[in-house]
Structure 1
């Protein structure tokens, strides 16, 4: 009996980084020997009052700040995240071995911070502000923008550093203690 090498602990981090690289390159990650296929055009799905977070079950519509969604291969509906820190934490995790077909975040240059709806943009082409004073559902968050000028303006007003998708690193998206910042739990 042969075991797929992608389930070996030493391969998990490499596959997680490969999933992120495949998303950055606009391709589809094929794990365990499958061939890579081209990313299909997948439209973002709008959240509603019942849309919950993949990680903690929180209702996205109840919280401020940018949201995210990931469309995985073999999954009909996207996985939603109530915060971009959770989104990046999952994508950058060494355990991430699911094939990512598309990922979207909200353009906070267009969406209202306190009740963001719509304005979904391709996550890999967005600009991110890390370290601002603005909070999302889990406390400090990473603001996402379609335009560099909007990200620069936000950073000028609320602090933080503007980064491209590939510049966001695992140590920037630590989830430990996130609940300590949530005053609604």
Structure 2
């Protein structure tokens, strides 16, 4: 009986899938370059994103959350996503200076989609918040609808948009 128990325990342990812990967000530094634009991320106003991919030691950064969502919802990825973080626009600070460690996991964030603000690259921005009420308050002031990561339609971030560099980007 002991032998059967030990054999069963061993087989169960051998078959158990070891879940890897998602990487923590990294501090945004002046060395971070936008994945699509290859420009210095912290030189642009508005929310940012970082995505950790399997096989890469460092995350890829995005100068706009909209761009990161296009990456996530698009089909042109080369590796599995291990973690996805976005700026929490509900913390004290400004649209120009969010702080280097202001990150919230994207799956837990509340996104305002369709507001009248533009991100750091001039495209309409999708604005993330950790707190649903703060997101709702922002949507009342700036327009848009609060959505979760899973409910943002792919076509919203994959469709072409008009870039207006003259339009105010501040929240």
For Structure 1 versus Structure 2, the TM-score category normalised by the shorter chain is 0.7 to 0.9
Residues 17-36 of structure 1 aligned to structure 2 (within 5 Å):
none
Asked if the contact 2:49/2:85 (under 8 Å) is kept, the reply is: yes
- Structure 2 partner of 1:149: 133
Q: Which runs of 5+ in 2 are unaligned?
A: 1-16, 167-171
- Deviation of the 1:97 alpha carbon: 4.4
Asked if the contact 2:30/2:41 (under 8 Å) is kept, the reply is: yes
Match status 1:116 vs 2:98: yes
Asked if the contact 1:63/1:115 (under 8 Å) is kept, the reply is: no
Moved over 4 A (4+): none
Superposition TM-score, scaled by structure 1 size: 0.74
Count, aligned residues: 148
- Correspondent of 1:43 among 5, 24, 38: 24
Measured on the aligned residues, the alpha-carbon RMSD in Å equals 1.9
Asked if the contact 1:64/1:135 (under 8 Å) is kept, the reply is: no
- Deviation of the 1:175 alpha carbon: 5.9
Deviations 1:43-100 (A, max 9, x none): 1011112311011112111111110000001100000000011001011112234111
Q: d(CA) in 1 for partners of 2:150 and 2:41?
A: 25
Q: Which runs of 5+ in 1 are unaligned?
A: 1-35
